[in-house]
Amino acid sequence: MEPILNVIPAIDIKGARAVRLKQGMKNHVTDYGDPVERAYEFQRAGAQWLHVVDLDAAFGEGSNWKIVESIVKQIDIKVEVSGGIRDDRSLDRALSSGSHRVTIGTAAMENPAWISEKFEDLAEKIIVALDIRDGRVATRGWTEETVPYREAIKRLDGAGCLRYMVTDISKDGTLTGPNLSLLEDVASNTESSVIASGGVALLEDIASLRHLVALGIEGAVIGKALYEGVFTLAEAIEVAERG
């Protein structure tokens, strides 16, 4: 049976609106309307997962939690939640809402003891975000850089991480194609699953990512290309599942 790549539409929320940022820059915003309506649209189009990000929480500038919670509770597909999950309270809130998985970035890098403890019972529900700029992992809404990503992977693998989400920040929101060499390198440095995020511009990019499934790439988060109508979600799923 041919490998299947999971297509995961992204809903990034800033100021109660669905938006896309260019290369993570919070002042380079494009507004795409009501986040809950977008969630329903993706569900109707055949999505099995949604990646929902509270950008204000990620930047430490507020919260869109009520909207995130509305999406989780109202739609009938699986949701992974991201943005500002940095302690027991925010993690418990996200999981108790019904989220199937949570994505943790800053706390996974800044608080090794805490994330190691969480992996003990919740490893299947935690995705560690490796947001990479110039070979280093960026945190706090991509505003600060930390250690080289290979060093981060070695530590996190040892702590029990089972899944990473890898974003080349320079590609995010640019429609210039994913960084396949980076994804291959990450996959070759871990036995854990990898979700690709950022840069998908064409259906051919999805086909290229599908060829990496055997290496451990299990999914692709797609945002701007769907919002801009470069291709439909149904077309993306067709390529991801059938080539």
For the chain, how many structural domains are there in total? 1
pLDDT along the chain (243 residues), means of 10: 85 96 78 97 97 93 96 97 95 95 95 97 97 92 86 98 94 82 97 95 96 96 95 97 83
Number of helical (H) and strand (E) elements in the chain, helices listed first: 11, 12
Q: Quick check: is 171 in a domain?
A: yes
Nearest alpha-carbon partner for 23 in 217, 223, 227: 223
Nearest alpha-carbon partner for 25 in 160, 174, 193: 174
The CATH number covering residue 138 comes to: 3.20.20.70
Element holding 237 (H helix, E strand) = helix 233-242
- 136-139 and 126-133 as β-strands: parallel, antiparallel, unpaired? antiparallel
Predicted pLDDT of residue 27: 73
Predicted pLDDT of residue 79: 98
Q: Quick check: is 210 in a domain?
A: yes
Predicted pLDDT of residue 171: 77
User: In angstroms, rounded to a whole number, what is the distance separating the alpha carbons of residues 3 and 113?
Assistant: 36
Q: Quick check: is 242 in a domain?
A: no
Given phi > 0 = left and psi -120 to 50 = alpha, else beta, which region is 129? beta
Predicted pLDDT of residue 63: 95
Predicted pLDDT of residue 4: 87
CA 205-26-106 angle, 5° bins? 80
From the list 56, 131, 168, 172, the catalytic residue is 131
DSSP code, position 23: T
Write out the residue range of the structural domain in which residue 93 sits.
6-237
Q: What are phi and psi of 11, to 5 degrees?
A: -125, 105
Predicted pLDDT of residue 3: 67
Q: Quick check: is 1 in a domain?
A: no
User: In angstroms, rounded to a whole number, what is the distance separating the alpha carbons of residues 159 and 117?
Assistant: 8
Nearest alpha-carbon partner for 137 in 171, 110, 113: 110
Q: What are phi and psi of 127, to 5 degrees?
A: -110, 130
Predicted pLDDT of residue 21: 86
Q: Quick check: is 167 in a domain?
A: yes
Q: Which two structure tokens, joined as six digits, stand for 215?
A: 């290496």
Predicted pLDDT of residue 2: 58
User: In angstroms, rounded to a whole number, what is the distance separating the alpha carbons of residues 207 and 219?
Assistant: 12
Cβ–Cβ under 8 Å, residues 240 and 210: yes
Predicted pLDDT of residue 144: 83
Predicted pLDDT of residue 228: 94
From the list 12, 54, 168, 205, the catalytic residue is 12
Q: Which two structure tokens, joined as six digits, stand for 149?
A: 């990503």
Told to judge if 131 belongs to the known catalytic residues of this protein, a careful annotator would answer yes
Q: Quick check: is 65 in a domain?
A: yes
Predicted pLDDT of residue 184: 97
Residue 92, classified by CB atoms within 10 Å of its CB into exposed (0-12), middle (13-18) or buried (19+), is: exposed
